[in-house]
Amino acid sequence: MAQIAVEREHAEPVAAVAANPAPLGLCAFALTTFVLSAANAGLFKEAGIVLGMAYFYGGVAQLLAGMWEFKGGNTFGATAFSSYGAFWLGVGIIVQFQPALIATTAFGFFLLGWTIFTGIMLIGTLRLNYALIVLFFALFLTFLALTIGALGAGLAFIGIGGWLGIITAIIAWYTGLAGLLASGKSAFSLPVWPRA
C-alpha cells in the first residue's frame, strides 16, 4: 500500500483534455448567418430579429470559441472565430443604433472589407479540408453579392447574397456537426474530406 501511495505521489500530472471549440463557433456562425440571410433573401422583413443572436451567439459565443482556439494553438480557427464574432457584434451595433447606414455606400465598403478578409481566409483553408474550403468559398460569394448590392447594383444582389448566405449556413452547420460527432462517442461520423 505504501508503495502505491509513493508511486501516485510522484506520478506525472495528467493534462486536462479541452473540448473542441470549433463546433460551437461553426454553429453560432451558422445560426446567425441563417437568420440574417433569410431576411436578406426576402423571407421576412424584420431584420432586427437577428440582434440578440448577433450580440450573443454569433458575437460573444464565436469570440469565446476563437479565444479557446488560441489556447489550443489553432491559429486559423482563432482568427476566423474571433474575427467573425467581432463582425457579428459590429453588425448588431449598426442594426440597433444606426440602421440607416445599411442603405449607404459606407456599408458597402464595410462589406467589401469583409469580402477581402474572407478571401484571405479562403486561401487559409486550402490545406485544411474540403468542408472548410466549400464553406469559405460560399461565404466569399455571399459577401461578394452583398457588397455588389450595397455598392449600388440593387436589391437583386442583396437577395442573391441572402440565398447564398442560407447555403453558407447549411454548410457551416454540416461542418459543425462533423466536428461535434468527431469529438464524442457518436454512432456515426460525417466526412470533411481532409487535404493531405
Whether 37 contacts 162, CB under 8 Å: yes
CA 135 to chain CA mean position, Å: 9
Would the CA dihedral through 19, 22, 28, 31 be positive or negative?
negative
- Grid coordinates given for 101: 447606414
Position 15 confidence tier, pLDDT thresholds 50, 70, 90: low
Give 194's strand partners: 129
CA 104 to chain centre: 25
What is the DSSP annotation of 82-111? HHHHHHHHHHHHHHHH-GGGGGSHHHHHHH
Per domain, the residue ranges of the chain are 22-183
Model pTM score: 0.90
Q: What is the pLDDT of residue 16?
A: 61
Question: pLDDT-derived band of residue 183, with 50, 70 and 90 as boundaries?
Answer: confident
Q: 48 falls in which pLDDT band (50, 70, 90)?
A: confident
Positive or negative, the CA dihedral 77, 119, 173, 188 is negative
How much is the average pLDDT of 119-143?
98
User: Does residue 148 register a pLDDT over 90?
Assistant: yes
Q: What percent of the chain has pLDDT over 70?
A: 92
